[in-house]
């Protein structure tokens, strides 16, 4: 995953968690907007994958 995609993914998840707002742009379908949607997640990561994420500079 590129650093830019990591940032976009983190921003999307934070937006769902904090504001309940989701905005997704797809090439063929255009922009999809959803409001009042909340995220609740239990994330499990393998130690090797977590190390890559936490060590990213």
Summarised one tens digit per residue, pLDDT across range 10-41 is 888 888 778 788 888 888 888 988 888 877 77
* Per-residue model confidence (pLDDT) at position 57: 61
**Contact by Cβ (8 Å): 9, 24:** no
- pTM of the complete model beyond 0.85: no
Please check the confidence at residue 2 and state whether its pLDDT lies above 70.
Answer: yes
CB-count exposure of residue 12 (10 Å: 0-12, 13-18, 19+): middle
Q: What is the four-CA torsion angle of 48, 49, 51, 52, rounded to 10 degrees?
A: 120
Report the distance separating Cα 26 and Cα 20, nearest Å: 20
HSE at residue 8, side-chain half, CA atoms within 13 A, is 8
* Per-residue model confidence (pLDDT) at position 40: 78
Please, which pLDDT band fits residue 53 given cuts at 50, 70 and 90?
Answer: low
């Amino acid at each position: 995953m590129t650093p830019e995609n990591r940032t976009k993914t983190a921003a999307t998840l934070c937006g769902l968690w904090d504001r309940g707002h989701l905005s997704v742009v797809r090439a063929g379908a255009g922009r999809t907007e959803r409001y009042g949607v909340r995220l609740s997640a239990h994330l499990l990561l393998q130690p090797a994958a977590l190390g890559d994420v936490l060590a990213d500079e």
